[in-house]
Structure 1
């Protein structure tokens, strides 16, 4: 693959020039905030669910967050196309903070899961608003560098997030992992306000798409029903599985580009690739700290280090791809899938008796490298193929694929953990099964990655594709 490094000069626009400085700083602050939450909460989660007597429901706090994100993303896409990025960013940060407070004060597992759902809705608003803001405020030549910068904003949280979370969990309790983020939320909101003033409001907004929110809720309920069905070994579980699959398929049909399931060339494959990347990576990411703690006896701090290694690898690869404007996004996407598949398969080595958990520190860094090449490439491809008047809806579709696939895969992980808790499967076996399934998904992504390029003969941008069904 031959690529040309991005060149610049005194007159070349940059991420921190006078036009973009405030917006860039504001967006990176929000990304840093979400990164701290993700890295710290994942590390503290095993202790939290154990103290709340909810180990058998280990997957639900993750799934509740992701399912609520689906609704938040649809609402955020509608708000972005009609009112611009400002409204979504402000509302998202406020709701996210309320969710942190609810989790930190939760007295039982039900309240904890509800708090995670509130966080998820706020996170959905933020994630779509970020894409709308990037598409609105930055030229195509700057977008790879900005996606690289957003990944770099994960480095500090990745380095200190698990360590701080582990220390807080051990010394003063897991609740402060949530409550301690609230001051950061307030500071980030204050600092991002000047940047929001530079983002314009659409002059001719499309009509509201209220029905899409109900379809999003239906899809989210389908995910929840599937996970609950997986925890039952009776007739009711089988019925719930059928109902869940039906609800999920019906809910996603109006929300994703036509042809997503078949990986049709152009935007549908871009959206499908995002789902395959996120599902395979985060399905294992949710399991690693618990496995290292339960199988190898690692402390909360030591069990969170692979998450740090993965995030550092992600950030490093994102920086590399951002330096080359001439790079083929399709080739980078395919290479990302290959690295992710190798990292997932290699992580299964930690299940071998006598080996220990240390290989996960290396293999998960490799998986992070794959994500660092693949995820920015998906974002660049989406913005290149989506017209401005549909950018909110298309960004929502991209993030919905991410969240739905993550929820399903993390839900599968939770089901297997519940089986291990009931004595039906050893934890080492859970790790092997999870690694095999998600590595296969990554291989499938590498196979279809070539279809992510825009159709050559298309008369209009692929983003204009109607969202009638997968």
Structure 2
């Protein structure tokens, strides 16, 4: 069953979802660029894990609670609460004098971001037809191009002029603008009864083990296993056994995230330690895949479904090439091909994973697709960290390629 037919506010809602993705991109690049500066100012250069853990843990705490918050507050109430929590958490982080206070503020922003993401994606599933939804996915991918190209330099320039604390607040206008567009287009609607918490709380517990492991791989692996177990309680029934339709699409999303984001997290390490190239060259390779992803998504926005399996296979091939070593040119070409493959595959896979039916509510699917992608990233990074710590950096890319090939096979279901 496809998404509902288009209604008058659909274009406004679509613009809001795309604007929110742009805000997420700006936020991501501001935070990552400022991290060394913040660590130095707070005297936390040896506690980077704590500085980045807050937002990640907040997101994973939000996922099992999102349906309950939406059921209790309604969509508009959730939007208001999430926006206040986001702005308040950012204010706490920007005024922090210790690493723990900064992490607490980031925890609030991560929690709010998770709730707002479920809200926005749930609204898109309810109100956008499939044709418009796949174009929104493609446009959202393209929203990362400008921040990726100009974000780091602009952030450093603003930090030089105003300091990192004011610069950390720079994404707020973009976030508020996107949420305003979404709330004007989406109305309050009844929510399906939330699922029992139970094992879903294993997701934030396992995530805490991964992000706070600080290089101790046994804790990271244990956390990944615990988070994976909790994920099965959030995803629709039949996901683990690859039931045809939405469950199989969500399973493919998990495998894709394990392979691609796991590989992406280690690209600079692989290039500098394994290929022996400079950090500047490694940064060029790192940017090749997201740029290829964004541009290709726009090119296939009209009919993305037919390319999902082929795109994932292409990404698997590009990742496998990296596992055999070589030169800077080979790595650049391979990772660019991997990004093009993601651009071919992701829009169609995402639309399939968020197609409603009588068995799934919009909030359930929104929570499921965010969980599938985020937990897949978590598992991929934990796996890559464990293998690279054991001296298997190139072997890790072989494993990532296998995960992507499996995603290609599963996506055909």
Same fold (TM over 0.5): yes
Q: Determine the C-alpha separation between the residues in 2 that align with 1:347 and 1:108.
A: 40
Does 2:242 match 1:271? no
Scaled by the length of structure 2, the TM-score of the pair is 0.81
| Alpha-carbon distance in 1 for matches of 2:51, 2:383 | 13
Instruction: Normalising by structure 1, report the TM-score.
Output: 0.72
Deviations 1:232-265 (A, max 9, x none): 48xxx58x966x4774355334212223223222
Indicate conservation of the 8 Å contact 1:93/1:185, yes or no. no
Between stretches 67-76 and 139-148, larger displacement belongs to 67-76
Q: Is the 8 A contact 1:62 1:407 kept in 2?
A: no
Aligned mate of 1:319, from 298, 306, 309: 298
Please give the secondary structure, in 2, of the residue aligned with 1:265.
coil
Partner residue, 2:361: 390
Q: Note if 1:198 corresponds to 2:185.
A: yes
Shift of 1:402: 1.2
Q: Which residue pairs with 2:121 in the alignment?
A: 131
Question: Could you tell me which residue of structure 1 aligns to residue 396 of structure 2?
Answer: 434
Q: Mean Cα displacement is larger for which, 310-319 or 112-121? A: 112-121
CA offsets per residue over residues 278-302 of structure 1, 9 Å max, x none? 2222223233345557764425xx6
Conserved in 1, the CA contact under 8 Å of 2:250 and 2:368?
yes
1:306 Cα shift? 3.8
- Distance of aligned partners of 1:100 and 1:275 in 2 relative to their CA distance in 1, 3 Å threshold: farther
The alignment's C-alpha RMSD in Å is 3.7
Structure 2 residue matching 1:273: 3-state secondary structure: helix
Which residue among 47, 53, 60 is the counterpart of 2:45?
A: 53
| Distance of aligned partners of 1:442 and 1:379 in 2 relative to their CA distance in 1, 3 Å threshold | same
Q: Give distance in 1, aligned partners of 2:336 and 2:139.
A: 18
Q: Following TM superposition, by how much is the alpha carbon of 1:64 offset from its aligned partner in structure 2, in angstroms?
A: 5.1
Aligned 8 A contact 2:20 2:178 in 1: no
Does residue 334 of the first structure (1) align with residue 309 of the second (2)?
Answer: yes
Number of residue equivalences:
405
Distance 1:381 1:124 in 2: 21
Structure 1 residue 163: Cα displacement: 3.9
Q: CA deviation at 1:396?
A: 0.5
d(CA) in 1 for partners of 2:403, 2:39: 28
1:260 pairs with 234, 239, 247, which one? 239
Aligned to 2:26: 36
1:407, distance to aligned residue in structure 2 (A):
1.2
**Alignment deviations for residues 132-153 of structure 1 (CA, whole Å, 9 cap, x no partner):** 1212222223221121222222
Choose 181-190 or 123-132, whichever is displaced more: 181-190
The separation in 2 between residues aligned to 1:186 and 1:370, in whole angstroms, is 33
CA displacement, residues 83-102 of structure 1 (integer Å, 9 cap, x when unaligned): 66444444444434444445
The corresponding residue for 2:405 is 443
Partners of 1:228 and 1:196 lie apart in 2 by 35
Q: Following the alignment from structure 2 to structure 1, what is the Cα–Cα distance between the partners of residues 232 and 33?
A: 35
Counterparts of 1:381-420 in structure 2 under 5 Å?
381-387=352-358, 390-415=361-386, 419=389
What's 1:9 paired with? none
Structure 1 residues 215 and 164: CA distance shift in structure 2, 3 A: farther
Unaligned runs of 5+ in 2: none
Establish whether residue 221 from structure 1 lines up as the match of residue 205 from structure 2: yes
Flag the 1:346–1:162 CA change in 2: closer, same or farther, 3 A: farther
Match of 1:323, SS state, is coil
**1:147–1:246 CA distance, 2 compared to 1 (3 A):** closer
159 and 93 in structure 1: CA distance in 2 versus 1, 3 angstrom threshold: farther
Q: Work out the CA distance in 1 between the residues paired with 2:331 and 2:75.
A: 38
- Residue 251, structure 1, aligned to residue 230, structure 2: yes
Give the structure 1 partner of residue 143 of structure 2.
153
* Shift in CA distance, 401/136, structure 1 to aligned 2, threshold 3 Å: same
Deviations 1:288-338 (A, max 9, x none): 345557764425xx65444433222122222122123xx5x2x42212211
